[in-house]
Structure formats: C-alpha cells, structure tokens
Amino acid sequence: MFDRLKEDINSVFHRDPAARNTFEVLTNYPGLHALLFHRLAHRIWLKDFKWLARSISTFSRWLTGIEIHPGATIGRRFFIDHGMGVVIGETTVIGDDVTLYQGVTLGGTSWNKGKRHPTIGDGVVVGAGAKILGPFEVGEGAKVGSNSVVTKAVPAGATVVGIPGRVIVKSPESDGRRKEMEERMGFDAYGVTEEMPDPVARAMRSLLDHMHAVDERIEKMCTAIRKVNQDYVDNGKLPPLDAEEFDCVRDDSSETAENR
C-alpha cells in the first residue's frame, strides 16, 4: 500500500514542476486525494456495497471538486492536475501513467446501461477542459488538446484538437510547401497561430492545401489522358502564382498599418 502511495507521489513530482516536497504533495494536491478516495470506493463497489461506494465518491467530490464514479477502473500512476471540474464516468477504463487536467469529462452519450464511457490508453494526456464522450478507445500515448470535444476513437500516439476533435497530421512535405506559400503572401500564419489560433489563418491554410491537392490531381489526370490519347493537347502549364502580386498585398497591408 505504501509502495503504491510512494508511486503516486512520485508521479506528481514527474508531472508537475511546481511540486516541491512530499508533505506539500500529500496535503495540497486534490488529484491525489481524489485518487486515494477512489481506490477505497472502487474496492467497496466491487464488494457490492454500492451505496457506501457512491457516498465515498460524493464526499471526495465535496472535498476535491473531482467526481470519479466508483465503478471506473483506473491504472497506476494516474495524475489529475488542479482537478476542479473533472468527471469520470462509471464504465471508464484508464490505463497506466495517464494525466488529466482540470475540467476534463470522460463521459457517455447514451443512457443505455453497459459500456458507455471511453477507454483511455497508457500514457495519454488530456488537456484542460477536454471532453471525451462515448465508449471508444483513446490509443496509447495520445494527446487531447485543451477544450477539445472528442467523439471518435483516437489512434495511438495521435494528437487531437478542436471541436469536434480532429487528429493533427503533421506532414513535413506539406508544412514546407505551406510555409513557402505563406511567406510569399506575406501571410505569417506561424507568427499568428502559434500564439493565438486564428480562424481566418486556418481557413487560408486549408484553401492552400486544397488548391495544391487539386493541382496535383489534375496533373496526374492529364498524364493519364496523354497515355491513352496521344492527340490530347493541354494548353500548357497553369499560370504561375506571381510572387510580386503577393508582395503588393503585403506592402498595402503594412502601409495601412503604418497609417493607423
């Protein structure tokens, strides 16, 4: 039992640089208190003293602001940072080394009995305010962005952000091409979106990606047509995007900014 407690305390040190010493962790971390109460409540739940188990869970919620149903199965080295507003449903299964931040809901979307809450794989990190809703799996090592709403399975190692949650696929090739276009257009999405996600910047990025995908597809189709029909003539290459025109856009916008 003490080994387990030591492990829980160490997991706080590993995941919160603000933790200074064991006494501080034992007395000031509601995530740890909620976990200890849950262990007790879960044992009692399995022995079929359901009301008592629920009451311990409710008492724990009063103290910590964290609601963990006693039926939930939780692995080792689980850590809830800050804690307030976390809700973990009855049929949730959580693996080892999982981290949740405040305001996370591991919930269901149906009132049917049976499995209706998510299964969270080992090493998953769920950002503040994220909601994971439904009886699907969040694969090992996945990251869920703060305030995301995830309603579908997440592959192992993936990062999911947004509402509804989408896997961010980082392709080095498309990133390079995007950056080139954005630089030409004086459209510094990196400067904007790294600090502050901008919906217009995102829309422009999607349009650029889409435009390149369509170009590539047309090029492939032309090549295929040329193979079957030697007489096929396309009217040369598409007109290139003129970098100078984009410079004008940049000049105009900087001029306007200077005049302000």
Chain residues that interact with ligand COA, rule: CB under 6 A = 82, 101, 127-128, 143, 145-148, 159, 161-162, 168, 193-194, 197
Coil vs helix vs strand at 21: coil
Residue 178 CB, nearest distance to ligand COA (Å)?
A: 9
Nearer CB in complex with ligand COA: 64/159:
159
CB count in 10 Å sphere of residue 34: 25
Sole residue written with tokens 């931040």:
101
Residue 194 CB, nearest distance to ligand COA (Å)?
A: 6
Nearer CB in complex with ligand COA: 175/247:
175
Residue 182 CB, nearest distance to ligand COA (Å)?
A: 11
Nearest to 147 by CA among 118, 117, 104, 109: 104
Quote the tokens at residue 236: 């040369």
Nearer CB in complex with ligand COA: 150/161:
161
Nearer CB in complex with ligand COA: 57/148:
148
Distance CA 85, CA 104 (A): 7
Residue 159 CB, nearest distance to ligand COA (Å)?
A: 5
> CA 136, 139, 143, 145: dihedral to nearest 10 degrees?
-20
Cα 25 to its chain centre, rounded Å, is: 27
